[in-house]
Structure 1
Amino acid sequence: MIYVSMDDTDNLESRGTGSLARTIAGELSKDYQIYGVTRHQLYDHPDIPYTSHNTCAVIQIENKGVEFVDEIFERVKREILDDFMEGSDPGLVVAHDNQITPAMVAFGIDAKCIVLNQQRARKLADNLDIRLEGLGGTEDGVIGAMAGVGLASSRYDGRFLRIGTEDVKGYTKTAEELFEAGVDQIVTVDGCNVTEGLIHNPQGRLLKTCPLGDKIILFVEEENGELKVVDRG
């Protein structure tokens, strides 16, 4: 797997980092097999500047070796710079599974609960030979971008903004439609598997599926006789 992680690409008037990541994933899908795009929540603290939510986004690319990292990095870098917004502080990381160690995962976990700095992010990238670059402003986005790779590679954090090359959204879907869209398992919050029937998504927005190991899981709960998608942030 190759992880393309970006953070702080937006300002108050522009589309968010997640939206940009989904657009870039669509472009990359012309040449690469996209596993999905995930969103990861980082530490919400007054000492950490962010636009609306302190989150980063990670595009995950399947079946490519480490030799493709530089090519993907340059391509995504151009996309981010072409979309650069004044007031943003974007950071970009592209890393292959072979470059990721427990220290990278630990950095991601720390980014959810303590204030980190660019120095630690850049030193970690240097030590692991991972491509990291700030693309404007204060370049503080390098912190969240590094964290995103660590969290996404753990396979137990965040939620999917896109499965494969498709956004999965809508007010009502059958379980069969969700499985066809790439959901591996539908589970109630009290542990029951759901294999059929209607799943209601009250707000009609992107389904908040979660990575759990090598599976994409959708959590639901029963309310008034209907199965509804659980909002997991």
Structure 2
Amino acid sequence: MKIYMGFDDTDVAGAKIGTGRLVRMFEKKLPQGARLWGALRHQLLLDDRIHYTSHNSPACAVVEIEDAALLPELIARAIAHIEELASPGSDPGLCVAPEDAALDDIVAFGLCCTHQIETQARAKALCATAGVHLSGHGGTCDGIIGATAAVGLTAYGWSGRFLEYGGLRALPDPITVAELEAAGILPVMTDVAAKRLALDAEIHTDGWLSPRLWGGRAVAPIVEKDGRLTALGKKPRDAEVAE
């Protein structure tokens, strides 16, 4: 069973540990019987009326567990992780939902957060109705909005960029199509005349392989220029604030 664990607003300007990094670090806190399937960064609305730290990008850890009885311990460990590493003055929020929960309204909420302003009250109401965990851990607790959105967008299956996925950061550059597929990442050409790639074709990542969550799986969008295959990466600013 997959568990979606949304974190948001755990840092302040200049903090050494941003939300994305905090979520990746949570892998080391997982109990026996749990493993990190992936960690995702999501992009929400940028608007001056929203008090985000730098880029309004919550993160979601997707954790696979063998026994649903582990859920309370997962939540307790996530809360302890936030309390240990969140920056003083931040407004952290945590949302935790099993994949088999009734998440349709939370998915819709997440999609809304990408283009309009949402509220704590609506996040609380939707999570209460769905029976999923939602909690604030300091300051205004505004992070519960982004945490809920991160769960919804991950459950949606067509949003987000992987911060971690099966040893993502240890993969070579360049990497062959066969090696990517063996790592569980599907390379997909994005050109108008897209072609199927040969298994021995080399893909350059420029040191920043950044698969997307498309169709509920990790997909690496590939472009070709002057005969060179390149995986679409991430903007330098994304790396600075989310990694």
TM-score norm. by structure 2 comes to 0.87
Mapped pair 1:198 → 2:202: yes
1:7-26 matches, within 5 Å, as: 7-14=8-15, 15-26=17-28
- The alpha-carbon deviation at position 11 of structure 1 amounts to 1.2
| Secondary structure, counterpart of 1:42 in structure 2 | coil
Select between 69-78 and 162-171 the one with higher mean Cα deviation: 162-171
* Identity within the alignment, %: 34
Matched-pair contact (CA < 8 Å) for 1:4–1:149? yes
- Where do 4+ consecutive residues of structure 1 move more than 6 Å? none
Select between 129-138 and 208-217 the one with higher mean Cα deviation: 208-217
Counterpart residue number, 2:238: none
- The alpha-carbon deviation at position 36 of structure 1 amounts to 0.7
Counterpart residue number, 1:127: 129
Counterpart residue number, 2:178: 176
- The alpha-carbon deviation at position 181 of structure 1 amounts to 2.5
* Stretches of structure 1 lacking an aligned partner (at least 5 in a row): none
Q: Note the alpha carbon deviations across 1:8-65, whole angstroms, 9 max, x for none.
A: 1111122211111111023327541221111111111111111121111111112445
Number of residue-to-residue matches in the alignment:
230
Q: Note the alpha carbon deviations across 1:114-144, whole angstroms, 9 max, x for none.
A: 1001111111111111111001111000000
The one-letter amino acid of 2:203's match is: I
The one-letter amino acid of 2:3's match is: I
TM-score norm. by structure 1 comes to 0.91
Cα pair distance change 1:201/1:152, threshold 3 Å: same
Aligned mates of 1:144, 1:97 — CA distance in 2 = 18
Counterpart residue number, 1:40: 42
Matched-pair contact (CA < 8 Å) for 1:10–1:16? yes
| Secondary structure, counterpart of 2:141 in structure 1 | coil
Matched-pair contact (CA < 8 Å) for 1:162–1:168? no
Counterpart residue number, 2:189: 188
Cα pair distance change 1:193/1:10, threshold 3 Å: farther
Q: Aligned to 2:139, which of 137, 140, 155?
A: 137
Cα pair distance change 1:128/1:66, threshold 3 Å: farther
Counterpart residue number, 1:95: 97
Counterpart residue number, 2:3: 2
Aligned mates of 1:30, 1:65 — CA distance in 2 = 10
Aligned mates of 1:193, 1:51 — CA distance in 2 = 41
Counterpart residue number, 1:225: 227
Matched-pair contact (CA < 8 Å) for 1:89–1:138? yes
Supply the RMSD in Å over aligned alpha carbons.
1.9
| Secondary structure, counterpart of 1:211 in structure 2 | strand
